[in-house]
Amino acid sequence: MPHVNSERGAALIGVLSAGAALGTAELVAAATGPNSSPITSVGGAAIDLAPVWLKDFAISTFGDYDKPVLLGGILVVLVVFAAVAGVVAARRFAAGAVMIGLIGAIGALAAVSRPDGSPLDALPSLAAILAGAAALHLLLTRRPAADGPGRRTFLVTGLGTAAYAVLGGTVGRILQQRSADIAQSRSAIRLPAPVSPAAARPSGHDFAIPGLTSFETPNRDFYRVDTALVIPELTAEEWRLRIHGMVDRPVELSFADLMAKPLIERDITLCCVSNEVGGPYTSTARWLGFPLAQLLREAGVRAGADQLVGTDHAGMTIGTPLDVVMDGREALLAIGMNGEPLLPANGFPVRQLVPGLYGYTSATKWLVDLELTTFDKYDAYWTERGWDPIGTVLTASRIDVPKPFAQVPAGPVTVAGVAWAQHRGISAVQFRIDGGEWRPAQISTEVSPDTWRQWRATVQLDKGLHRFEVRAADGRGDWQPEERTRPFPRGATGWHSVAVTVT
Ligand SMILES: Nc1nc2c(c(=O)[nH]1)N[C@H]1C(S)=C(S)[C@@H](COP(=O)(O)O)O[C@H]1N2
Ligand SMILES: [Mo]
């Protein structure tokens, strides 16, 4: 640390102080809960406040890494701000301290205003302000001077602060995590056999072509889309579901209660409204759960209710059209996927699923509360942000093979992919080459109208650049429209296309 009395030195002191502040915040958040960490809650607020185009951009550009990218971005902004605060403080300590106070105040505000926030959630940020100001003061006064402390004193203080920051942050984060409890709770669950197993999958339901999406998505590959920076953590033992609002008999249910009910198992494809044409946010699993409509009938839904609002363990809400849930389709309160308890990222211990609706209006993960109400009275999270309140899945199809810009050897070329229109089913898939005539593709045997189907074809192509396009018709015979639209506000439309070079 050669120039500790220079501006660069002061900037470094600012950054070290911010480190001490954050380390302290993470330690305190071990007591007040992971969502009260200023980093996590500012990230959460950024997600909640982000305009639709930015969210779309983040999901399509960074995919599963959208959250680490967001947290990294926040850290970069923080480091720059802290460096400036250090330089300012070297001239006028009070002004630098006020800057630290301001960042801390943003953290406190973000933590308190989370959906399940309480005044106590400000504590990590307040402690961070104190620790940051103290570290700033200590480091500035220990800078080497002719008549004051030597270089060694400063070096030791600086290294000590850095070590405290890293250690505090790490230990705090470890203490915040209850993943060990969750893992234990998950592995202790013995899923009961369904009273109504899923129908056997007919032969020909999976073409098993290399590179083609498999019919069943292995749990580790199941897509994940949500607003949670920290996965809401609750054990099956702690879980309770309250069903209330416009019902005759409010219900409260434990996980054991749910497991003791006659459960059914169904293959269901889930997809995300934010999926771009050709995008990856669609997966299929064999779900184990209890029919949601039956549970609601047990509670006695009152006339006039038209919306089912699910709230997750962190207070996030999803609004589902009630008539869709009650129309005879097999909406589930699911506890199992592909023979295992739900993965934490996919909603452990209990989530909702409604075949035919996008996840954002139907698939509440970490579900703890169901309220019967009306669309007039309540706007859930996504509806508040302008997304369509119903969320009917649009017919979609995708080319998986060949990959975009692949070099394929001349000779017969296999084209293949998947198509979905949950609950209406897929009745036909067509493809065309270089804008030519539409040709029929072979489609895999249907497992259920609630699941996707694969499609395939083999073609002979001349050498050179070629473009494949695909379109599907749903069970009503309606073809996907050509017009390209963005996901907002009711799902992307348009035909997926892939360009390849035949060599
Ligand atoms: N609690 C909660 N549930 C949620 C969400 C969320 O942000 N929070 N996102 C929804 C969206 S937009 C989708 S597409 C599905 C995705 O479910 P998956 O992550 O298990 O694939 O979950 C839905 N359920
Ligand atoms: Mo979604």
| Ligand 2 center–CA 224 separation, angstroms | 9
Quick check: is 377 in a domain?
A: yes
**Which pLDDT score, from 0 to 100, does residue 57 have?**
84
| Ligand 2 center–CA 275 separation, angstroms | 8
Q: Which atom of ligand 1 is nearest to the CA of 226?
A: 7
- Nearest residue (by CA) to ligand 1, atom 5, is 226
- Nearest residue (by CA) to ligand 1, atom 7, is 226
- Nearest residue (by CA) to ligand 1, atom 4, is 364
Whether the per-residue pLDDT at 64 is higher than 90: the answer is no
- Nearest residue (by CA) to ligand 1, atom 16, is 225
Show the tokens assigned to 275.
Answer: 């999926």
| Ligand 1 center–CA 120 separation, angstroms | 28
Q: To test the ligand 1 pocket, which listed residue (226, 287, 338, 342) has its Cβ within 8 A of the most ligand atoms?
A: 226
Percent of the chain with pLDDT over 70: 99
pLDDT band at 65 (very low <50, low <70, confident <90, very high): confident
**Which pLDDT score, from 0 to 100, does residue 307 have?**
98
**CA 164, CA 23: separation in Å to the nearest integer?**
7
Per-residue DSSP letters for 2-59?
TTTTSHHHHHHHHHHHHHHHHHHHHHHHHHH-GGGSHHHHHHHHHHHHS-HHHHHHHH
| Ligand 1 center–CA 135 separation, angstroms | 41
- Segment 16-21 shows an average pLDDT of 97
Q: Which atom of ligand 1 is nearest to the CA of 314?
A: 1
**Which pLDDT score, from 0 to 100, does residue 166 have?**
97
- Nearest residue (by CA) to ligand 1, atom 8, is 226
Ligand with an atom nearest the CA of residue 230: 1
- Same domain membership, residue 297 and residue 229: yes
- Same domain membership, residue 44 and residue 23: yes
Whether the per-residue pLDDT at 3 is higher than 60: the answer is no
Q: Could you say which of 120, 153, 177 is where a domain stops?
A: 177
- Segment 364-389 shows an average pLDDT of 97
Q: Which atom of ligand 1 is nearest to the CA of 227?
A: 7
| Ligand 1 center–CA 455 separation, angstroms | 27
- Nearest residue (by CA) to ligand 1, atom 10, is 360
Q: What's the sign of the alpha-carbon dihedral 328, 331, 335, 338?
A: positive
Backbone angles phi, psi at 119, to 5 degrees: -55, -30
- Same domain membership, residue 160 and residue 26: yes
- Same domain membership, residue 406 and residue 380: no
Percent of the chain with pLDDT over 90: 89
The tally of domains found in the chain comes to: 3
pLDDT band at 206 (very low <50, low <70, confident <90, very high): very high
- Same domain membership, residue 89 and residue 24: yes
Quick check: is 22 in a domain?
A: yes
Quick check: is 239 in a domain?
A: yes
Q: To test the ligand 1 pocket, which listed residue (59, 225, 311, 393) has its Cβ within 8 A of the most ligand atoms?
A: 225
Does residue 4 or residue 194 have the better pLDDT?
Answer: 194
Q: Which atom of ligand 1 is nearest to the CA of 366?
A: 1
pLDDT one-digit tens code per residue, 401-429? 999 999 999 989 999 999 999 999 999 99
| Ligand 1 center–CA 181 separation, angstroms | 22
- Same domain membership, residue 361 and residue 305: yes
Beta bridge partners of 287: 266, 337
| Ligand 2 center–CA 245 separation, angstroms | 26
**Domain CATH for 238:** 3.90.420.10
Whether the per-residue pLDDT at 2 is higher than 50: the answer is no
Quick check: is 98 in a domain?
A: yes
Whether the per-residue pLDDT at 368 is higher than 60: the answer is yes
- Same domain membership, residue 324 and residue 246: yes
Q: Could you say which of 177, 201, 227 is where a domain stops?
A: 177
Q: Which atom of ligand 1 is nearest to the CA of 310?
A: 1
pLDDT band at 54 (very low <50, low <70, confident <90, very high): confident
Ligand with an atom nearest the CA of residue 232: 1
Ligand with an atom nearest the CA of residue 367: 1
Quick check: is 195 in a domain?
A: no
- Same domain membership, residue 432 and residue 374: no
Ligand with an atom nearest the CA of residue 381: 1
Quick check: is 260 in a domain?
A: yes
Q: What residues line ligand 1, using a CB cutoff of 6 Å? A: 222-228, 270, 272, 312, 316, 318, 346-347, 359-360, 363-366
- Same domain membership, residue 409 and residue 279: no
Q: Could you say which of 151, 177, 203 is where a domain stops?
A: 177
Q: Between the CA of residue 320 and those of 276, 314, 340, 353, what are the distances in Å?
A: 22, 18, 26, 10
Token pair 């470094």 is found at 12
pLDDT one-digit tens code per residue, 270-287? 999 999 999 999 999 999
- Same domain membership, residue 321 and residue 415: no
Ligand with an atom nearest the CA of residue 315: 1
pLDDT band at 145 (very low <50, low <70, confident <90, very high): confident
Residue 64 CA from chain centroid, whole number:
8
Whether the per-residue pLDDT at 240 is higher than 70: the answer is yes
**CA 461, CA 104: separation in Å to the nearest integer?**
62
Rounded (5°) CA angle 405-61-498 = 25
pLDDT one-digit tens code per residue, 438-463? 999 999 999 999 999 999 999 999 99
* Sequence-distant (≥ 6) Cβ neighbours of residue 392 within 8 angstroms: 356, 357, 358, 490
Per-residue DSSP letters for 376-411?
TT---HHHHTT--SS-BPPPEEEEEESPTT-EE-SE
Does residue 180 or residue 328 have the better pLDDT?
Answer: 328
- Segment 299-317 shows an average pLDDT of 97
| Ligand 2 center–CA 483 separation, angstroms | 21
Q: Which atom of ligand 1 is nearest to the CA of 358?
A: 14
Quick check: is 204 in a domain?
A: no
Q: Between the CA of residue 355 and those of 6, 20, 296, 329, what are the distances in Å?
A: 63, 49, 17, 7
**Which pLDDT score, from 0 to 100, does residue 105 have?**
96
**CA 456, CA 416: separation in Å to the nearest integer?**
4
**Domain CATH for 439:** 2.60.40.650
- Same domain membership, residue 355 and residue 275: yes
| Ligand 2 center–CA 331 separation, angstroms | 17
- Same domain membership, residue 249 and residue 153: no
Q: Which atom of ligand 1 is nearest to the CA of 347?
A: 20
Ligand with an atom nearest the CA of residue 271: 1
pLDDT one-digit tens code per residue, 83-121? 999 999 999 999 999 999 999 999 999 999 988 889 999
Quick check: is 379 in a domain?
A: yes
Ligand with an atom nearest the CA of residue 318: 1
Whether the per-residue pLDDT at 397 is higher than 50: the answer is yes
Domain containing 452: what range? Answer: 396-502
| Ligand 1 center–CA 32 separation, angstroms | 25
pLDDT one-digit tens code per residue, 209-236? 999 999 999 999 999 999 999 899 999 9
| Ligand 1 center–CA 302 separation, angstroms | 28
Whether the per-residue pLDDT at 262 is higher than 90: the answer is yes
- Segment 356-371 shows an average pLDDT of 98
| Ligand 1 center–CA 307 separation, angstroms | 18
- Nearest residue (by CA) to ligand 1, atom 9, is 226
Whether the per-residue pLDDT at 378 is higher than 80: the answer is yes
Q: Which atom of ligand 1 is nearest to the CA of 382?
A: 12
**Which pLDDT score, from 0 to 100, does residue 56 have?**
80
Q: Average per-residue pLDDT in the chain?
A: 95
DSSP 197: P
